Structure 1
Amino acid sequence: MGMKNLVMLFLFLVTPTTFVAADQTLIQKTCRSTLYYALCMSSLKSDPTSLTADTKGLAAIMVSIGAANATATSTYLSSQLPTSGANNHNNNNNKNRTKLIRQCSEKYAFAAEALRASLKDLADETYDYAYMHVAAAADYANVCRNGFKVFPTVAYPATLRRREEGLKRICRVVLGILDLLGW
């Protein structure tokens, strides 16, 4: 093997490691700017494209995770609605619960739409609009919870409380990353 080939082989073997280490540093630096470092790190590490992403790309990855979370919650809530033939005894609590679950499913669908809109904003580098859409997505989860306050006899489900907190934390991570972009 000639010296030129040996140098090329060495560069090939060393460069990817250095490149990945540099990207891990960007991910760590980015996540340190957020309120939920561990969530940010685990989320970004779960997506292999994060190793080649810039800060804007890391924000887009987190937004996509948030949109998937909101869509999954909307779908979950829809699955909790009684079927048309189900006997729910037609009492007020069951009617109110069904109404709240339906409304919450819609709110989480709106949250997913807002997050998808923020992806376009990121691509267009209109970070103020991206910030607004991400904040709106988090607020849709609040609107859902607040709906349960109108009907105090209908308990806010613990599963929904965990999902709400998850979406809000993801949105807070995205907002922290957007702050780095100088919206």
Structure 2
Amino acid sequence: MGYFFYLTLSFLYFLLFINGAIGDPLTIGSTCKAASQSDSKLSYDFCVAALKSDPKSRTADLKGLGIISIELSISNATNVVSNIAKLLKDKSIDPFAKTVLEDCLDLYSDAIPTLKEAVGKFNSKDYYQANVDVSSAMDASSTCEDGFKERKGVVSPLTKENHDIFQLTAISLAIIEMFH
């Protein structure tokens, strides 16, 4: 990408830090704009809706939005684990799909404590390790979804959940990168 793009992105990051420092109410919009520009797979609208879903986001600075985004990932991953547990009780589920669901359960069960560690790492300014931890959770969502694609005709019952976790972790990674 061109020099102008990186100059513009750097300027946006600078504005985000200034906005975060003075509590500008545009922090969510400007954060999501910069985040979606840095990751073409991240939806601006999803980012705004997700961050606004937490009442603390209205007064949060950039660091606060980073914590909120990781906490949203933890909450959603926890809900996915519950959803998978319910699906596994369904006796009519295809044996292959059941095996994939069990794999997904393991992936998300591991992702939750990893995301909790990411909060601590982010708070302690260990942005590298926070990035590694959040990336691991992002991989869990992709790996889970890909598992269902291994057999033709099997449809993932977790497509929306996997997509949401992917988007939430993409928000977190974009914010972490703004500090890194």
TM-score, normalisation: structure 1: 0.74
Residue of structure 1 equivalent to 2:75: 68
Residue of structure 1 equivalent to 2:165: 167
Distance 2:75 2:120 in 1: 16
Residue of structure 2 equivalent to 1:13: none
Distance 2:49 2:28 in 1: 10
Question: Which of 101-110 and 130-139 deviates more?
Answer: 101-110
The residue type equivalent to 1:114 in the other structure is T
Distance 2:99 2:153 in 1: 11
The residue type equivalent to 2:155 in the other structure is Y
Matches within 5 A, 1:72-111: 72-82=79-89, 94-111=94-111
Give per-residue Cα distances to partners, 1:51-100, cap 9 Å, x unaligned: 332211110001111111111111101111137xx5x5xxxx83332222
Question: Which of 99-108 and 121-130 deviates more?
Answer: 99-108
Match of 1:51 among 58, 73, 92: 58
TM-score, normalisation: structure 2: 0.76
**Structure 2 counterpart SS, 1:105:** helix
Residue of structure 2 equivalent to 1:29: 30
- Where structure 2 has 5 or more consecutive residues not aligned to the other structure, the ranges are 1-21, 37-42
Task: State the structure with bigger RCO (CA 8 A, min sep 6), 1 or 2.
Answer: 1
Residue of structure 2 equivalent to 1:156: 155
1:160 CA drift (Å) = 0.8
Larger Rg: 1
Distance 1:54 1:162 in 2: 29
Residue of structure 1 equivalent to 2:46: 39
Runs of 4+ in 1 over 6 A off after TM superposition: none
1:154 CA drift (Å) = 6.2
1:23 CA drift (Å) = 2.9
**Structure 2 counterpart SS, 1:24:** coil
Aligned residues: 153
Percent identity, aligned pairs only, is 25
Distance 1:130 1:30 in 2: 18
Distance 2:35 2:122 in 1: 18
- For the pair 1:177 / 2:175, whether they are aligned, the reply is yes
- Where structure 1 has 5 or more consecutive residues not aligned to the other structure, the ranges are 1-20
**Structure 1 counterpart SS, 2:154:** coil
Residue of structure 2 equivalent to 1:129: 129
